[in-house]
Chain A
Amino acid sequence: MREADPKFKLKVRQIPGAEKLMLCFQCGSCTADCPVARHEDIFRPRIIARLAILGFKELLFSGDLLWLCLGCYSCTEHCPQGVKPTEVIEALRNIAVEEGKLHPGFKQLLDALLATGRMYKITRMKERARAKMGLPPAPEVPLEDVRKVLDLAGLTSILGKASGGGEA
């Protein structure tokens, strides 16, 4: 039986944006409006809030649950209690990362950022398309400077902690 940590919610609501977490009364407005929930059976902002309040950290930080949020804010706009689920999810992601539970998909994006200075590769096809449209080639990335900035922002240490999240 997974352990619930009743003190977890107190930690979450200290993070700016997530202060109203405990006001959630599980109406389901957030999930009803969520564009991701329509297509992904496991993603329910309502359930994320519930797990956070009950303190089921293991369930919360496992799998894709926290990481499918697009940050569209539909849930936050509709929530009648002012819970701001988008920001709660953001807060939970930050806690997850601190505990080394970064999702592998996100880790890949961040690794790419550190390696190339970009999250997405500019392919030769894209360069050709740019030339066709009369656009100059994609600018060079000042990689050393970018790495320095990201390091100062703490990205290297986050990636160092990341065990990759992964399936429960």
Chain B
Amino acid sequence: MALSESGNEVRIGVYICHCGTNIAGVVDVEAVRRYAERLPGVVLARTYTYMCSEPGQKLIKDTIKEYKLNRVVVAACSPRLHEPTFRRCVAEAGLNPYLFEMANIREHCSWVHMEEPERATEKAKDLVRMAISKVSQLEPLKPMTVSVKRDVLIIGGGIAGITAALDLANAGFKVYLVERQPSIGGHMAQLDKTFPTMDCSQCILTPKMVDVARHPNIELITYAEVKALEGYVGNFKVKIEKKPRYVDEDKCTGCGVCSQKCPVKKIPDEFNAGLGTRSAIYIPFPQAIPHIAVIDPEHCLYLTKGKCRVCEKFCQANAIDFEQKPEEIELDVGAIIVATGYEVYDPTQDEEYGYGRYEDVITALQMERLLSASGPTGGVVVRPSDKAKPKKVAYVQCVGSRSKRPGHAPYCSRICCMYAIKQAIQLKEKYPDIDVCIFYIDLRTFGRGYEEFYWRAQEAGVRFIRGRVGEIWRNREGKLVVRAEDTLSGRVLEEPFDMVVLSAGLRPAAGTKDLAALLKIPLGPDGFFLEAHPKLRPVDTVVDGIFVCGTATGPKDIVDTVAQAKAAAAGAMALLSRGEIVVEPLVAVVDEERCRGCGRCEEVCEFGAIKVVEKGERLVAEVNEALCKGCGACSVRCPTGAVKVRHFKPGQVLAVVRAVRS
């Protein structure tokens, strides 16, 4: 008779899954069953084709009841797949779900030893024996509930952040929307039209921006950044630093007079991608939300040299406040959504294209500003060099993308084919005689209505040449000559153009690395935030309670960004809706009698989950069960053996080790 740690009799049921032919095709499951049935403590051993299926689970439940089992071992696939399934199944039969152990005889056995079935069968027997040994030592445990705050922090006020904020606010959650720039809107606010519908970008975005500003459940914190994060799912403490605008947000009416009167005028304008200029005190763009001025401390004459103050003189609302200091804001939130967006690749290093050397070589975002009626030229497309209207415009695709060269990204930036086609159509509609030629390697028009959009461009007379551009230079007539091979005809072309637009790719937004370190979420090899699973969990991160959406995880169009933002909002809602969440109890636990408060556990804990506190007259370690990940570092370090991790206590682990050798 086998005994558990507490001395009671264990009655173990062993269930061996065929998993179709995944396991049974290599491992002799019947032999493993016969073997298991004879081991101490095992009351019965059964096999079935698909243990996770309804009939499989019914078999487990029925036999638990019939044979009064008090321990269950399932030998099947990885616990990462079906541990929750079987735990639930066992619980439904009235048994504590933590008196259950899985032996992985698929990923750890049949799938990796396909060429050696006899040895795989022996290994499967070993694995089952180890699981039986472990399960004999397990104790019943109860999951813990942790209360959660129903407020959500969204980092980033572009279309992703705005969409998530509105969904959450409409569902009754309080949202803090933090945006680094003085206005929300992100890159979508810089676009003229959106593909493939040719909707005016501002027209579809600004109503949402206004909704955000007006929504009673959304607190908009602009010109601010997240500086520190503490806590755990449902209970995050965030520190935000709000930069000083030097303008009182409650008093400013957004009239814009200050900007007109400001003597410092020729600052390259970020909103116009460097093509326009602004003053030192400015409102970022006409539809900015909040519609409040901001002073640029690097160019303001008063803040740099102590002179001027003209804006103050002319401000009717008395809103200028040069004494403003950075403000620290602390927030308690239950979930965080990262929606920090992207930035455009700077093609200056690609000398062959002449960006930075020739004024008339621009990026597509800059062309977007030229096309835009609220742009620096009022929507008239002219060459930056001489303000002449271009008669021939070339588009160079895949700039900085799909390349192994240093400084380039290996990924495709996904939106450039579509935005180039969009701009080409716009140029043809504005200027019917203009010649637009797109030099491409492939045309990725993958979405709904996208291929039809490409036909529209072809019918409008846009030229498409399949050949990656090799070099661009200015000839004696001042034209920009583009050299490429037309691979479909084999001809090497050298054609003069008036303007060249580089379809520059997408990169992670500036500051992504720092934010990732602060939030303790990982980045992928491409530098964008890493999702928990690329297919099945595209908006979760590996940290519970932190979600991510939009271009923060990689290039995508507005359609996918909005869908992900809604998904992230739904994820946060699901997490927080009941006011409490259930957390697995497989965490560290301190035997206070043995603990002498030395603090070595606190030193090694990466998660800040165990700390030495005063209890009565003693110093003992205390575990924050919601923060604890059950990694076991504290348990290893503890010199007295006071700290143990439930379900993986030394006795339990050693039982498995001994079973290996027997």
Contacts and interface: CB of A to CB of B under 8 A. Distances in A.
A29 interface: yes
A33 B484 CA distance: 8
A96 B316 CA distance: 84
Interface string B460-479: 00000011111100000000
Contacts of A26: 487
Nearest to B482: A32
B444 to A, nearest CB: 13
A81 B468 CA distance: 12
B404 A28 contact: no
A81 B352 CA distance: 17
A44 B486 CA distance: 11
Nearest to A23: B404
A27 B441 contact: yes
Given A80-B405, A81-B404, A31 B485 contact: yes
A29 B494 CA distance: 13
B466 A32 contact: no
A81 B398 CA distance: 12
Contacts of B404: 80-82
A109 B486 CA distance: 34
Contacts of B487: 26-28, 31, 46
A37 B485 CA distance: 9
Contacts of A106: none
Nearest to A77: B405
A29 B470 contact: yes
A32 B467 contact: yes
Nearest to A20: B404
A93 interface: no
Contacts of B7: none
B534 interface: no
B87 interface: no
A33 B470 contact: yes
B524 interface: no
B403 interface: yes
B490 A80 contact: no
Contact size range, B: 20 to 34
Contact of A33 (B403, B408, B471, B486): B471
B492 A47 contact: no
A60 B467 CA distance: 22
B119 interface: no
Interface string B491-514: 010100000000000000000000
Contacts of B403: 80-81
Interface string B394-422: 00001000111100100000000000000
Nearest to B471: A33
Contact of A32 (B398, B402, B408, B469): B469
B468 A29 contact: yes
B261 interface: no
Given A78-B352, A80-B402, A82-B404, A32 B441 contact: no
B426 to A, nearest CB: 26
Most buried by A among B405, B484, B485: B485
A47 B352 CA distance: 22
A86 to B, nearest CB: 15
B490 A32 contact: no
B577 to A, nearest CB: 47
A34 B469 CA distance: 12
Given A28-B484, A37-B492, A46-B487, A78 B467 contact: no
Interface string A20-45: 00000111110111100110000010
A34 B466 CA distance: 17
Contacts of B486: 28
B395 to A, nearest CB: 15
B441 A25 contact: yes
Interface string B181-199: 0000000000000000000
Interface in A38-84: 38, 44, 46-47, 78, 80-82
A91 to B, nearest CB: 19
A38 B402 CA distance: 25
Contacts of A27: 398, 441, 467-468, 487
B483 interface: yes
A32 B470 contact: yes
A44 B411 CA distance: 27
Nearest to B410: A80
Contacts of A37: 485, 492
A44 B402 CA distance: 22
A48 to B, nearest CB: 12
Interface in B408-447: 408, 441
Contact of A44 (B484, B490, B494): B490
A69 to B, nearest CB: 15
A31 B471 CA distance: 11
Contacts of A31: 467, 470, 485, 487, 492
B472 to A, nearest CB: 10
Given A28-B467, A78-B352, A46 B398 contact: no
Contacts of B441: 25, 27-28
Contacts of B471: 32-33
Most-contacted residue by chain B among A29, A34, A46 (CB, 10 A): A29
A63 B486 CA distance: 23
Nearest to B404: A82
A34 B405 CA distance: 18
Nearest to B441: A27
A80 B398 CA distance: 10
A27 B396 CA distance: 12
Given A26-B487, A37-B485, A46-B485, A32 B405 contact: no
Residue from A28, A31, A33 having most chain B Cβ neighbours under 10 A:
A28
A17 to B, nearest CB: 16
A81 B484 CA distance: 17
A38 B492 contact: yes
B455 to A, nearest CB: 23
Contacts of B398: 27, 80
Interface-centre pick from A32, A34, A80 (highest chain B CB count, 10 A): A32
Contact of A28 (B408, B468, B494): B468
Contacts of A44: 485, 490
Contacts of B484: 28, 32
B340 to A, nearest CB: 28
B545 to A, nearest CB: 40
Interface string A96-118: 00000000000000000000000
B168 to A, nearest CB: 41
Contacts of B483: 32-33, 38
B470 A78 contact: yes
Contacts of B467: 27-28, 31-32
A31 B146 CA distance: 64
Contacts of A29: 468-470
| Most chain B CB neighbours (cut-off 10 Å) among A25, A80, A82 | A80
A83 to B, nearest CB: 9
A29 B466 CA distance: 11
13 contacts: A26-B487, A27-B467, A28-B470, A29-B468, A32-B468, A32-B470, A32-B471, A32-B484, A32-B485, A33-B352, A33-B470, A33-B483, A80-B468
A-B complex: 8 closest residue pairs judged by Cβ atoms: A32-B470, A80-B403, A31-B485, A28-B485, A33-B470, A28-B467, A27-B468, A27-B441
Given A32-B468, A44-B485, A78-B352, 4 more contacts: A26-B487, A28-B441, A32-B469, A32-B471
